[in-house]
């Protein structure tokens, strides 16, 4: 780990970022060149003290997970991310296999959607970052670790992951998840993380194994989604998708037609946020 170089790199990247770049308001009394340390720490989901120690060159060696969080928070390009990993004493991630670095372009769009449910997904169905309203609508999907980071894995191994959708839609979701995973396996090859995920699911889910044997390709979602939120009930939403083919990532944006009941529910959810006002029913579908 090269602490002096890391400190200088972090400081200069922080100073280069402007509040508008990350969806923050520039107040009239701002004197800081770029972002404040506490603002970057919040973007990286770490304590201000921890980040400040890294900038001073006195902090501990960041783990790979913390290095990835720094790269996302500072909106680094892939080249800058690789440089950051090397400065922290880690090998640069293999670009073909690592999908947890978010495209700076997608992050710039997401930063301007704070009042909208939106999230960035990897090709394996991993939720990389969510807006506040996306967490309220869908739950915190960034908390999972290991194979459970993938929505595909959770769909076929955790019944609770299906509660957000009407039961009659479950078969269609299973077909779509399976077809999407097969496409990623084809793109990334038999030794990829996607192929390993498919192999694991074939051994753990008879439903997935049966769908996989059908060899369906091109089964896609429509823009219409019916979702169930424990606080406001069912909503009919539109889901628009922005793709970044270079990094096999997608930005999902959920909206409701103005004047509809679903629109009013989404407005209410923006006020409630992630508060839970009802007792979860783990048996409901």
Q: How confident is the model at residue 283 (pLDDT cuts 50, 70, 90)?
A: very low
Asked if residue 247 has pLDDT above 70, the reply is: no
Task: Report the percent of the chain where pLDDT is more than 90.
Answer: 42
Domain that holds residue 24: 3-87
With respect to residue 35, please indicate whether it lies within any of the assigned structural domains. Answer: yes
Residues 164-168, mean pLDDT to the nearest whole number = 92
Q: How confident is the model at residue 72 (pLDDT cuts 50, 70, 90)?
A: confident
Do 60 and 121 lie in a common domain? no
Average model confidence (pLDDT) across the chain? 86
User: What is residue 204's predicted lDDT score, i.e. its pLDDT?
Assistant: 95
With respect to residue 99, please indicate whether it lies within any of the assigned structural domains. Answer: no
User: What is residue 217's predicted lDDT score, i.e. its pLDDT?
Assistant: 79
Listed residues 87, 120, 155: the one ending a domain: 87
User: What is residue 159's predicted lDDT score, i.e. its pLDDT?
Assistant: 94
Higher pLDDT, 279 or 254: 254
User: What is residue 244's predicted lDDT score, i.e. its pLDDT?
Assistant: 79
With respect to residue 93, please indicate whether it lies within any of the assigned structural domains. Answer: no
Q: How confident is the model at residue 285 (pLDDT cuts 50, 70, 90)?
A: very low
Q: Which residues of 168-194 are buried (b: 16+ CB within 10 A; e: fewer)?
A: eeeeebbebbbbbbbebbeebeeebbb
Query: Which residues contact residue 159 at a Cβ distance below 8 angstroms, ignoring those fewer than 6 apart?
Result: none
Query: The CATH number of the domain where 162 resides is what?
Result: 3.30.450.180
Do 50 and 123 lie in a common domain? no
Asked if residue 97 has pLDDT above 60, the reply is: no
Do 128 and 262 lie in a common domain? yes
Query: The CATH number of the domain where 75 resides is what?
Result: 1.10.260.40
Q: How confident is the model at residue 276 (pLDDT cuts 50, 70, 90)?
A: low
- Report pTM: 0.67
With respect to residue 129, please indicate whether it lies within any of the assigned structural domains. Answer: yes
Q: Structurally, how many domains does the chain consist of?
A: 2
Q: How confident is the model at residue 184 (pLDDT cuts 50, 70, 90)?
A: confident
Rg (the chain; Cα; Å)? 20
With respect to residue 125, please indicate whether it lies within any of the assigned structural domains. Answer: yes
With respect to residue 190, please indicate whether it lies within any of the assigned structural domains. Answer: yes
Do 138 and 245 lie in a common domain? yes
Do 267 and 205 lie in a common domain? yes
Do 52 and 178 lie in a common domain? no
CA pair distance 143, 138, nearest whole angstrom: 12
Task: Report the percent of the chain where pLDDT is more than 70.
Answer: 92
Listed residues 87, 120, 144: the one ending a domain: 87
List 228's β-bridge partners, or say none.
234
Residues 45-63, mean pLDDT to the nearest whole number = 90
Do 231 and 263 lie in a common domain? yes
Do 77 and 110 lie in a common domain? no
Do 83 and 108 lie in a common domain? no
Do 111 and 80 lie in a common domain? no
With respect to residue 96, please indicate whether it lies within any of the assigned structural domains. Answer: no
Do 257 and 123 lie in a common domain? yes
Higher pLDDT, 101 or 119: 119
The rounded Cα 61 to chain-centroid distance in angstroms is: 25
Per-residue pLDDT tens digits for 141-161: 988 989 999 999 999 999 999
Do 80 and 112 lie in a common domain? no
Helical axes 170-188 vs 193-204, angle rounded to 10°: 140
With respect to residue 231, please indicate whether it lies within any of the assigned structural domains. Answer: yes
């Amino acid at each position: 780990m090269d602490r002096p170089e890391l400190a200088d790199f972090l400081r200069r990247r922080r100073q280069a970022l402007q509040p508008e770049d990350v969806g923050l308001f520039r107040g009239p009394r701002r004197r800081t060149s770029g972002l404040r340390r506490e603002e970057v720490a919040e973007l990286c989901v770490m304590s201000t003290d921890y980040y400040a120690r890294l900038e001073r060159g006195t902090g501990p060696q960041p783990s790979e997970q913390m290095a990835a969080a720094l790269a996302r928070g500072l909106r680094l390009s892939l080249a800058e991310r690789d440089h950051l990993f090397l400065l922290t004493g880690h090998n640069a991630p293999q670009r073909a296999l690592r999908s947890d670095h978010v495209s700076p372009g997608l992050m710039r769009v997401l930063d301007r959607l704070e009042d909208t449910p939106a999230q960035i997904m990897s090709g394996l169905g991993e939720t990389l970052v969510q807006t506040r309203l996306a967490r309220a609508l869908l739950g915190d999907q960034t908390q999972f670790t290991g194979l459970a980071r993938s929505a595909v894995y959770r769909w076929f191994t955790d019944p609770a992951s299906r509660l957000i959708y009407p039961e009659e839609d479950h078969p269609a979701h299973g077909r779509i998840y399976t077809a999407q995973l097969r496409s990623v396996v084809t793109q990334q090859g038999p030794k990829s993380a996607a192929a390993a995920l498919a192999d694991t699911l074939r051994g753990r889910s008879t439903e997935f194994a049966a769908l996989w044997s059908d060899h369906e390709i091109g089964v896609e979602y429509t823009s219409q989604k019916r979702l169930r939120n424990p606080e406001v009930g069912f909503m009919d939403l539109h889901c628009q998708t922005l793709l970044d083919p270079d990094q096999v990532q997608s930005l999902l944006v959920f909206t409701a037609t103005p004047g509809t009941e679903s629109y009013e529910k989404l407005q209410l959810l923006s006020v409630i946020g992630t508060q839970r006002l009802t007792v979860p029913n783990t048996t409901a579908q």
